């Protein structure tokens, strides 16, 4: 699970922690082998299809490392079948066989809206959904991250610490796979406990409507001016300088998409804002600035300087407005 609403701190156990809470460090059945070919994928689909009850599903992405939001690992667990860790990349990016095997089965996800898009991209779409994070919010639990919720309701502390890792890395480290397997180890049991509280509060039907809305929600429309989300852009007031921010942002975004690299790893937002505010007059002045003088930035200096020159060549009517247009 790439993000957790209330992530538990990494590091050694807190000596002040509840002594009745058990640390879960390994899956009960051990960490399963990684599914990396079509034969193993077919075997996993057959096993999951013959299991019973809901299926726990999770996905790991590489947010902060990759431009795309694709799934680099998919975890599934179902009673009677066990846990499966599936590498979508090694399996050709098509896990539709798993999706077909689980038709009509309730899928249990935590913070489902984070994972449904990347699951759909590999051919996995649930017919029925239970979202433990959303359910926790409806019940009114004070903390609804997977770790805190599991600890509160089941008395079990999950291993944490790899949610923000680069899941595009290969081979995946053994401790990462342990973490991934644990994310679905107790998810169905957690679902049952939350569902019982929903029922006691008379909120089951309401929750089902909310789950269905999440399941069927279309992708959000693209933002009209996504470059305005550049961190620190509020410091840039003049429209001519905002044009520099826009051109640098768009040039960076184009390159990031082509390389499938997170934009901030090519050029930090702070560097874009700094260039707009300092107004370097020549390429040499640009590469003398703190971020731009690095080796990686020197290789891209022509690209960034061309973006600045394009912005400065724009006629005044094509400068961005000082404030964004209302949505």
> Domain containing 241 — which CATH number?
1.10.150.80
Contact present, 13 and 23 (Cβ < 8 Å)? yes
Query: Are 275 and 168 contained in the same domain?
Result: no
Integer Cα distance of 219 and 217 in angstroms = 7
* Structure tokens, 245: 């921010």
Asked if residue 256 belongs to a domain, the reply is yes
pLDDT digits (tens, 9 = 90+) for 71-82: 999 999 999 999
Query: Are 47 and 146 contained in the same domain?
Result: yes
Q: What mean pLDDT, rounded, does the chain reach? A: 92
Query: Are 193 and 260 contained in the same domain?
Result: no
Average pLDDT over residues 130-154: 96
End-to-end alpha carbon distance in the chain:
31
Query: Are 83 and 182 contained in the same domain?
Result: yes
Query: Are 87 and 152 contained in the same domain?
Result: yes
Query: How sure is the predictor about 325, in pLDDT bands with cuts at 50, 70 and 90?
Result: low
Query: Are 179 and 55 contained in the same domain?
Result: yes
Longest Cα separation, the chain? 68
Among residues 166, 190, 216, the one where a domain terminates is: 216
Query: Are 245 and 276 contained in the same domain?
Result: yes
**Is it the case that residue 187 has pLDDT exceeding 70?**
yes
Asked if residue 83 belongs to a domain, the reply is yes
Query: How sure is the predictor about 294, in pLDDT bands with cuts at 50, 70 and 90?
Result: confident
Please state whether 111 falls in left (phi above 0), alpha (psi between -120 and 50) or beta.
Answer: left
Higher pLDDT, 25 or 57: 57
Query: Are 236 and 159 contained in the same domain?
Result: no
* Structure tokens, 283: 């390429």
Integer Cα distance of 85 and 97 in angstroms = 15
Query: Are 167 and 107 contained in the same domain?
Result: yes
Asked if residue 77 belongs to a domain, the reply is yes
pLDDT digits (tens, 9 = 90+) for 27-44: 999 999 999 999 999 999
Angstrom CA distances, 281 to 266, 307, 309, stand at: 22, 13, 10
Integer Cα distance of 114 and 58 in angstroms = 10
Count of domains forming the chain = 2
Q: Is the pTM of this model over 0.85?
A: yes
**Residue 125: burial class (beta carbons within 10 Å; 0-12, 13-18, 19+):** middle
Angstrom CA distances, 136 to 59, 91, 133, 216, 231, stand at: 20, 34, 5, 20, 31
Query: Are 54 and 152 contained in the same domain?
Result: yes
Among residues 216, 244, 271, the one where a domain terminates is: 216
pLDDT of residue 19: 67
Average pLDDT over residues 38-65: 97
DSSP-derived letter for residue 257 is: H
**Is it the case that residue 133 has pLDDT exceeding 50?**
yes
CA 149, distance to chain mean position in Å, is 19
- What residues make up the domain containing 44? 22-216
> For 52-71, b where at least 16 C-beta lie within 10 A, e where not — what string?
eebbbbbbbbbbebbbbebb
Query: How sure is the predictor about 159, in pLDDT bands with cuts at 50, 70 and 90?
Result: confident
Query: Are 40 and 153 contained in the same domain?
Result: yes
Asked if residue 198 belongs to a domain, the reply is yes
The CATH number of the domain where 169 resides is what? 3.30.420.10
Beta bridge partners of residue 24, listed in sequence order: 158
Among residues 216, 234, 263, the one where a domain terminates is: 216
Asked if residue 240 belongs to a domain, the reply is yes
Asked if residue 11 belongs to a domain, the reply is no
pLDDT of residue 326: 63
Query: Are 93 and 67 contained in the same domain?
Result: yes
Asked if residue 12 belongs to a domain, the reply is no
Asked if residue 179 belongs to a domain, the reply is yes
């Amino acid at each position: 699970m790439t993000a957790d609403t209330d992530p538990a701190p990494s590091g050694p156990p807190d000596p002040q922690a509840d002594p009745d809470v058990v640390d879960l460090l390994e899956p009960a059945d051990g960490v399963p082998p990684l599914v990396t070919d079509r034969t193993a994928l077919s075997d996993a689909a057959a096993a999951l299809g013959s299991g019973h009850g809901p299926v726990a599903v999770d996905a790991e992405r590489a947010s902060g490392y990759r431009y795309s939001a694709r799934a680099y690992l998919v975890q599934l667990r179902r009673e009677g079948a066990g846990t499966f860790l599936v590498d979508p990349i090694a399996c050709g990016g098509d896990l539709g066989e798993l999706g077909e095997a689980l038709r009509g089965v309730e899928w249990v996800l935590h913070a489902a809206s984070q994972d449904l898009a990347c699951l759909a991209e590999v051919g996995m779409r649930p017919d029925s959904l239970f979202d433990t994070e959303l359910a926790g919010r409806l019940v009114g639990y004070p903390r609804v991250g997977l770790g805190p919720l599991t600890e509160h309701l089941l008395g079990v502390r999950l291993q944490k610490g790899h949610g923000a890792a680069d899941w595009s890395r290969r081979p995946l480290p053994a401790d990462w796979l342990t973490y991934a397997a644990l994310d679905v180890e107790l998810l169905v049991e957690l679902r049952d406990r939350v569902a019982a509280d929903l029922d006691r509060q008379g909120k089951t039907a309401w929750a089902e409507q909310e789950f269905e809305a999440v399941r069927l929600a279309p992708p959000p429309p693209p933002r009209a001016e996504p470059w305005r989300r550049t961190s620190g852009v509020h410091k840039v007031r003049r429209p001519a300088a905002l044009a520099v921010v826009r051109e640098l942002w768009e040039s960076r975004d184009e390159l990031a998409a082509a390389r499938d690299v997170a934009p901030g790893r090519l050029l930090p937002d702070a560097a874009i804002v700094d260039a707009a505010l300092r107004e370097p007059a020549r390429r040499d002045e640009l590469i003398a600035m703190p971020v731009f003088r690095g080796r990686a930035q020197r290789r891209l200096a022509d690209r960034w300087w061309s973006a600045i020159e394009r912005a400065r060549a724009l006629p005044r009517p094509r400068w961005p407005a000082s404030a964004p247009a209302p949505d």
